[in-house]
Each structure stands twice: as structure tokens, then as C-alpha cells.
A and B are shown apart, each in its own frame.
Chain A
Amino acid sequence: MDTGKTNAPLGIKDHVELFQEERYQKSFEAKRAASEMPCEEDVLKISEWTKTKEYKEKNFAREAAVINPAKACQPLGAVLCSLGFEGTLPFVHGSQGCVAYFRTYFARHFKEPIAAVSSSMTEDAAVFGGLSNMIEGLGNAYALYKPQMIAVSTTCMAEVIGDDLNAFIKNAKEQGAVPEDLPVPFAHTPSFVGSHVTGYDNMLKGILQALSEARPKGSPNGKVNIIPGFDTYPANIREVKRMLKAFGIEATILADTSDVVDSPNTGDYQLYPAGTPLEEALDAQNASATLALQRYSTLKTLEWVSQNWAQQKTLALRPIGVKGTDAFMEALSEITGKPIPEELEKERGRLLDAMTDSSAWIHGKRFAIYGDPDLVLGLTSFLMELGAEPAHVLCTNGDKEFTKEAEYLLSSNPFGASGKVYTGKDLWHLRSLLFTEPVDFFIGNAHGKYLQRDTGTPLVRIGFPIFDRHHLHRYPILGYQGALNVLTMVVNTVLDELDRKTNVPGKTDISFDLIR
């Protein structure tokens, strides 16, 4: 392999710098002038208009078109859930394109290869039903990828046709497409009634159900089950495992995607690099408690667990920020009777110390946030712990329950008094809000960059997907350590912005300070 330095100056630029050059800008200018576009002035006028209150009202009256959606669909969540089990192939029953999107979507976020297949329904299947696709698909997938488990979810098309997964899978087994004893859990995941968080929930419930049917309940194993929920931060799961270890608690993570979507570079590509061992998952029903780390992506699963596993405790928590993590600590301690480990207490102390260092910069800052329900609630709560004031809390895939919880969160905290909750709204709505009622910063995923560009509001990237910054998912945002990471991102965004606003020599640089 060559080792030489290679950046011989060849004078060829890529599009990032190239098209900033004057001659390109001029030629673009000329093209605009050549009548193909309304003149600059008109464009400006329109774009100014989109910043007004009047426009905002029009925008909020919009009902048929969704503009720049901020949610993904059910089977995408089901795929993430399935990936978290050892040797498990996510299999989506429906037309192929959906799955191709899911794979790219995850691959771009995690920067990892992602395996998922589809039953590739065609027009004929749309008319006659997808049974033969299911049978052939399961057979092929089993032969090609040799999974230990195939987790089946559905795209909208299969749902519209009304395919009966249970019967189809039975049929496939009877016909010998896959061995009788291969676990093939399934979940109906129609996207027109939910989002990726619902899909995660449905799939997890399907998997747990299938696995516990496969084995009768045994004697208690003294473990705690942890359900991360639709979590796209592998580092979160690692962080939680570390905390449990500090406690000395043995736990089963359902489903453990951490080493699947963030595996070490060993030089060996593996289709199934890790995941919750099926043996452990089979034993999960014998644990003493099941704790979920998100609420809205585990509603049905937890309900099912509490009805069927009869454990000491079934509970959804949200270990984001100080209070969120405290509650998690206390729950662990209560369930297991173990004291809060000193190590974690110290960590908490360091977090509080850091918060006292930075909170003056964050106190009173107004912010907007959008994303998945639990993330939005957890982060909003933590930012209020720092004295920041939520102005717009937007959750495209939030339901009535979410609205209630979010409104309660805001009204029960003086810093939340001026905040408003929006569900079912998209990023184009948020754009109007950022213009008419500006904030100091906002939290969101990669799509937020366009809002940042249009409104000039600084963006803190937390959420999913994040395609345009690297490795953020490799840092936890859960637990005390995660809170410290969030704090660091937020305060430094505020400080970066301050520098940006004070960096014109002789004009604004009076407070371009070295020490902040």
C-alpha cells in the first residue's frame, strides 16, 4: 500500500468551494437574470413574506400537504428493533423500495452496513395477496443469510391488502420454506397509523411474545430487563450497561443494538455482529423487573409484559438529565435492594458542578426542539434544569398522550411557562415559528440545517437522523455522563454563536472575549 503523501496541488476543487467562486456565482446570477426565475427582488419579497405572522397563520391552516416531514415510518422502527437480537434478519413484508430506503437511512446515520430484506411484493401481489412472496421470501432469506431468527414486519401496501402474517408464516413453515423451530416473530406495522416509534414497539412485543411462547416460564433469574426503545445512540446502551455494572446488576437488554450498529473494525465483515443473545431473550420473562428507557416506543410492549410476565415491576423511565437519571438510579436501587454506587454518585456530582459552571450562559435562553416524543420530553426537562426556556416543543409523531405529558411538563415548571406544544406539525411549521417567535437555539436532527440556514438560529444536533455530522451517536446522551455531553453541546453552541456575533473587528468585537 502506498504511504506517500498525496495532496499534490492539482488545482481541482470540489463543489463545496468551487461553486462559491466568483465566476460561478456570476454565471448563476446571469442565468437567473435570463428570465428563468422571478427576479431577485420578487424572490426576496416572497421569502420575506414567508417570515411574517400572516404567513404563519396561512401555514398553520394548511391541512392537505405535509412539507418536510419529521418522522419516519413503522417498519423502520421494526427493523431497528429486530437488528438488536443476535442472528436476527429483519424481514419486511411488502414492496421492496421501502426496505431499500430503510437500509440507506440507517447506513447513513450509523455509517455501518445494515442488513434487512423484503418480500418484494409486486403488482400481482397487490391484487392476489402476498402469500407466495412471503413463502418464497422466507425460504430465500433463510437459505441466503442463515439467520437464527427472522423478524417480520410490514409496509403499508401489505397492510392495505390486509395480508395475515400469522397465517402466512404458518403456511410457510408447513411448506418447509423455513424450519418449523425457527423463530419467526411478526408485527403488523402500518405506517399510516403510526411512526417508527410505534413500529419499534409493535415489533418488540411480537418478538417477546414469540420467544416466551417458545419456552414456559421458569424460576426467577434475578436479572433486570432493560428496553432502550427506539434509540439511535448505541453509546446510550453502553452507558446504561456501564451504570448497571457499577450497581452490580445483571441485566438483559431488549434489544441490544449497540454492537450491531457500531461494531469494531476487525477486518471481518459480519452480517450479524452482535445483539441480545436469543438464549437470554428467552429467559427474559424470568427477570425480576422490566424497565423501559422510553415511554412512547414501548407502550404496547410494557403493557404486554406486565400482563404476561408478572414481574415485580414494569416501568417506563427516561434517564435524561439530572432528575430523569436520578429516578432511574432510584428505581434500580429499589428493585434490587442495592445502594447507589459511589462511582455514579461522584459522576452526578461532577455533572452538577459542570452545570453550575455553564448555567449562567444557558439561563433564560429560549429554545425550540423537535424530534421523537421521549427525546423531546427528556431534553426539554433537562434544559429547564439549566434554566433554559422552551418556546416551541414540536413532535410530528406525538399523540394526545404526548401533548398532555408535554403540557404538564411545561406548566409545572416556571421556565416552561411560555412554551407551546405542537404535534402533527412538520418542519415547515417550525420554520414559521422560528421566524415569528425567534429563539436562541434549537435542537433537532440533520434536517434542521435548512431551518438554521433560513432563520439563522443555531442548531444543536441531537436526534435522528443525523447524516451530516459524524459520530454524534457514539456519545451517550443518557445518564449523568450523557447529560454532561448534552450540556457541552448546548453551551458551546451558545458560545460559538456569541463569538460569531461579536467577531467583526472594530465593530462588534467589544465583547469578543477570550474567557467565557
Chain B
Amino acid sequence: MAVPRAKELINEPSCGHKQKDKAACRKAPEPGSSSGGCAFDGATIALVPIADAAHLVHGPIACWGNAWGSRNSLSSGPSLYRTAFTTDLSENDIVMGGEEKLFRAILEIAGRYSPKALFVYLTCVPASTGEDIESVCKKASRKTGLPVIPVMAPGFVGSKVLGTRVAGDTLLRRVIGTREPKETTPFDIALIGEYNVSGELWDILPVFTKLGIRVLSKITGDGRFEEVATAHRAKLSVLICSNALINLAGGLEERYGIPFVEGSFFGLKETNGLLLRIVERLGDAALIEKTRAFTQAMTSQTLQTLEPIRKRLFGKRAVLYTGGVKSWSVISALKDLGMEVIATSTRKSTEQDIAKAKELLGDRGVLLTRASGGELLELVRTRGADMLIAGGRNQYVALKSRIPFLDVNQERMRGYAGYKGLIRLAKDVDRALANPVWRLVLEPAPWEAAVAGELAAEV
């Protein structure tokens, strides 16, 4: 089988997961229980935002057919990444081997779309029949003169997280370092793990611009192939809300001596903290001074804007069900809004994440390892929470149960990062809670109320 690297990655030294919960990366999902996305899914989430590349999925029709176009990663320029390419392996291809078809597909796409590069994603079927797509990519690359990059994360190797990790590794080994930037500045950074969901990145970039920090390489939100390829010239890499890509940050450090900081742009405290950590690592006194002043100014400005909403949100209780870094960073943001989080999940979280989550939750908070939709609802009810903040998977379960809901995961429709994002988050939480539909939904129908009244009168 053609995916040995995926196995190694599970034991990546810079993985934040402790040995015992390496399982979180590796752990084969439990057969028969409802499971999340596969490694292939994780790899596409991480790489498809590279907007000027063509993304070709080698497999039967629907691995991509079911998924294409469903992410909200935005691009300010090329839109080639939104076009879905697949080899649509038929029975015949599977019997005869699909390598030849893959090769021709690459040539067709290269000839007609002039992509900056091609990413070729392996899926379960060609992986289990043992196709050698690495050689095909090599051959196609020689023929087309384009980088043709195999992404070896067929679904069956494991979870979404592992797929993202494979994606990071692929960038590290096959993309980064293959191009040189036109110029460098002392304050060049690489942003890792920000996918520009709903344009979130565009709330953050202006902040860097204002401070005089240049984002040399965006990995991968609103990303461009060449820009990603120059990441090795960054002075610092900044890993945002991602455990999965820590191998990439670690790799950059190991190979090119680029240090990294981790953090999140959810909430005031985290945003300020991360910005300060970045400039401290960049080590320029004037920049540090400037950033201090900037964060202070932004903090008071943001709080002032939030004032009316914070009054309404004060003391409102939420159950948070997301994963990884967000399991605590979103708590921090909600606390900025005066809210209380009574439970959070620790799926895909590291020990560090869990410790932070514990600290932010306080003694009474609940840490959930894994909860089904039903269990979440139970928790919301028994703990008297006002809303559920989670991923799209739980959205309709919550709505069916008449629980106000907000999506903070990959599918979210609006950006919540940075100062502006926090205000948007406040607004959306506020709206989710105060929507008049909830009253309507919670009140009994008038005739039911009447019946209840009559019954009471009879007694």
C-alpha cells in the first residue's frame, strides 16, 4: 500500500498529543458509530484553498462529487480551486488500473487551465489496489513542467486530523523551499492553519499591515502556490488554531530554523496575546512598543462597541462542542462577551488544550470527550444552557430540540476572528438567542394552552 508516510506522521515528534492520546490522530473510528470525515477530507480542507492550483481527485466519482464546492474558503483572486476535477474511476479503470487515466487527466487539466500547480489526491480505491500515483505525478510533472504533487491521504488511513497532517507534511516536503520570494523583510511571517473561512483572514491581515508585519506566506487561506512555496524564508511561523499542522510548523523550525508561535484569533484576550507573542519573537523593541499600544487601543475600542451587546449577553450560558484549539479559544472569546461556558469538548485536543480549557471553564465546567447529538441536548437541558455553539453536524439536532444554535466550525458563514470578528460573533450570538422564532416555538399552540387551562380548572 502506498501510504507509509501517513503512518509515520502519527508518531511525529512535534505532535502535541501525548503518547497515550496519539490515538486522537490515529485512532481508527469506532465501527458502527457515527463518524467524522476521513483523511482525504482533512487533506482537501487544508490544501484546496490554494486558489491558483488545480485540485484533482483520483478515485471514484463521488469522493469529490459529494464534497466539492462545499467549503467556504474564499479567494481574492483566482478561482480555479473551486473547479472540481476528478478521474471518476469506473469499473474498467479499477480492473485495468487507473494510472494511465490519471496521467491523461493531469495533462488535460495542465493543458487547458494553466494552473500554477496540480495537487493530486489519492482516495481509498486506487490506494487499496496499490496504484503508484507518486510515479505518475513525477512523470506528469516532467512532461508538463508543472509541479504535480501527490497527496497521499486516502480516507482509510484515519481521521480528518491525520489527513490535515499529511497535507502539512506534503507542503513541507514537496512545496516549501521550491520558490524564492522577490524580496524579504525583517518582519516576514508565515500564517499556518488559517483557511480564510468566510473571509476571516481579511479581518486579520489589515491588523498585520497596520503593525508593519508582512504575511509572506498564507497556508493556505486565500493562498497562492508560489507564495506557499516561499514559506522557508519567513522569520517566524504562526500556527493558528491547529494541532494538526503542528508538524508543518515543527518541520519549518527543524529544516530552516524558523521558530513558531501558536495561538488563536478568537476573542480579545487571545488576539492580543498572540499578537504580542508574535512581535516578541520577532524581537524588535519598537515593534513591540507599537503593538502594545495598538492592542490597548483596539481593546478599548472593541469593548466600547460591544458594550450594548455585552449587557444582553451577560451571564448567558453556552455549551460549546467543537474540537482542538477551539475547545478553549472560543471559550475565551465568549468570556470576552460576558458569557459563561458550562461545557466544552476535548475532541482532537492536546493535553495543553485540555488544561487551558479546564482553566477557562472553572470548577463547575464539564469536559466532554465525545458526545452524540442526543447527549449534547441532554447536557444543555440539565445544565440549563441557553444555547449550543458547535459545528454544522449538530445544527439540526439542536434546532429540532428548540435550542438556539451557532456554527463556529469550518462551515460557518461569517468570520469570527480578530477584533472585528469578535464583534460579529457577539452580534450572531445575540441574534441566535433573541430571535423571535424561539418564543413562538417554545410557547404551546393557543388551543393547547386552552386545554391545559381547562384541565387545570377541572382539577
Shortest distance between the CB of A103 and any CB in chain B (Å): 7
| A60 close to chain B: CB less than 8 A | no
Name which of A2, A27, A71, A91 has the most chain B CB atoms within 10 A of its CB: A2
Instruction: List residues 1-22 of chain A with CB under 8 A from any CB of chain B.
Output: 1-8, 10-12, 14-15, 18-19
* Contact stretch, chosen from A28-36, A211-219, A353-361: A28-36
Pairwise interchain contact A8-B309, C-beta atoms closer than 8 A: yes
Residues of A close to B256: CB separation below 8 A? none
Chain B window 394-431, contacts with chain A (Cβ cutoff 8 Å), 1 for yes, 0 for no: 11110111100000000001110000100110110011
The DSSP consensus for interface residues of chain B is helix
Within 8 A of B (CB), among A243-271: 263, 265-271
- Residue tally, chain B, CB below 8 Å to A: 108
B125 touches A140 (CB 8 A): no
Type the 1/0 row for A105-138, where 1 means its CB is closer than 8 Å to any CB of B.
Answer: 1011001110111111111011100000110111
Which of A4, A76, A123 has its CB near the most chain B CB atoms (within 10 A)? Answer: A123
A24 to B415 Cα, complex, angstroms: 16
Which residues from B are CB-within-8-Å of A140?
Answer: 30-33
B427 touches A122 (CB 8 A): no
With CB as the reference atom, state the residue of chain A lying closest to B387.
A1
* Chain B residues with CB below 8 A from A447, complex form: 69
The 10 closest A-B pairs by CB, nearest first: A97-B38, A73-B62, A140-B32, A137-B31, A137-B32, A97-B155, A141-B32, A15-B199, A64-B104, A64-B105
Q: Nearest residue in A to B41 (C-beta to C-beta)? A: A97
A120 touches B227 (CB 8 A): no
Segment at the interface with A among B84-92, B271-279, B284-292, B360-368: B84-92
B55–chain A nearest beta-carbon distance, Å: 11
Count of residues in A whose CB is under 8 Å from the partner chain: 99
Known: A14-B414, A120-B31. A69 touches B157 (CB 8 A): no
Q: Which residues from chain B contact A266 at a C-beta distance below 8 Å?
A: 400
User: Shortest beta-carbon distance, B397 to chain A, in Å?
Assistant: 4
- A103 with B423: CB separation less than 8 A: no
Given A6-B430, A67-B85, A269-B400, 5 additional A-B pairs, CB 8 A: A31-B76, A103-B34, A120-B35, A268-B400, A269-B401
Interface pairs (13), CB distance under 8 Å = A7-B427, A14-B415, A15-B415, A18-B199, A19-B202, A98-B62, A101-B63, A113-B400, A120-B32, A139-B32, A144-B372, A156-B124, A192-B61
**Do residues A68 and B156 form an inter-chain contact, with CB atoms below 8 A?**
no
Contact with A along B32-47 (1 / 0, CB 8 A): 1111111111000000
Task: Given A1-B386, A65-B105, answer yes or no on A269-B35 (Cβ-Cβ < 8 Å).
Answer: no
**Which residues of A are at the interface with B, using a C-beta cutoff of 8 A?**
1-8, 10-12, 14-15, 18-19, 24, 27-28, 31-32, 36-38, 46, 58, 62-69, 71-73, 76, 91, 94-105, 107-108, 111-113, 115-123, 125-127, 133-134, 136-142, 144, 155-157, 160-161, 190-193, 195, 263, 265-271, 428, 447, 450, 467
Task: State how many angstroms separate the Cβ of B407 from the closest Cβ of chain A.
Answer: 12
- Measured CB to CB, the closest approach of chain A to B185, in angstroms, equals 15
Judge whether B74 and A19 touch: CB under 8 Å: yes
B144 within 8 A of A: no
B33: A residues at CB distance < 8 A: 117, 120, 140-141, 144
Please measure, in the bound complex, the distance between the C-alpha atom of A7 and the C-alpha atom of B435, giving whole angstroms.
11
- Give A447 Cβ to nearest chain B Cβ, in Å: 7
Q: Given the complex, which residues of B lie within 8 Å of A73, measured CB to CB? A: 60-62, 65-66
Query: Nearest CB to that of A449 among chain B residues?
Result: B69
Instruction: Say yes or no for B214: interface residue by CB 8 A criterion.
Output: no
* Chain A residue with Cβ nearest B74: A15
Chain A CB count within 10 A is highest, among B88, B109, B393, for B88
Per-residue CB contact flags for chain B residues 62-76 toward chain A (1 = under 8 Å, else 0) read 111111111000101
B112 part of interface (Cβ distance < 8 Å): yes
**A398 vs B263: C-alpha distance when bound (angstroms):** 50
Contact in complex: A160, B156 (CB < 8 Å): no
Within the complex, the shortest CB–CB distance from A217 to chain B, in Å, comes to: 33
Q: Roughly how many angstroms separate A111 CA and B395 CA in the complex, as a whole number?
A: 9
Residues of B within 8 A of A99 (CB): 34-35
Q: Known: A120-B35, A141-B32. Is A69-B88 also a contact (CB below 8 A)?
A: yes
Q: How far is the CB of A354 from chain B (nearest CB, A)?
A: 33
Contacts of B400 in A (CB 8 A): 112-113, 263, 265-270
B70 near A65: Cβ-Cβ < 8 Å: no
Q: Are A119 and B31 in contact (CB under 8 A)?
A: yes
Instruction: Tell me whether B69 and A36 are in contact (CB under 8 A).
Output: no
Chain A residues near B87 (CB-CB < 8 A) = 64-66
B156 and A126 within 8 A (CB): yes
> Is A1 in contact with B439, judged by CB distance below 8 angstroms?
yes
Interchain CB contact under 8 A, B157 and A122: yes
**Contact of A467 with B70 in the complex, beta carbons under 8 Å:** yes
The winner among A64, A69, A144, A161 for most chain B CB atoms within 10 A is: A64
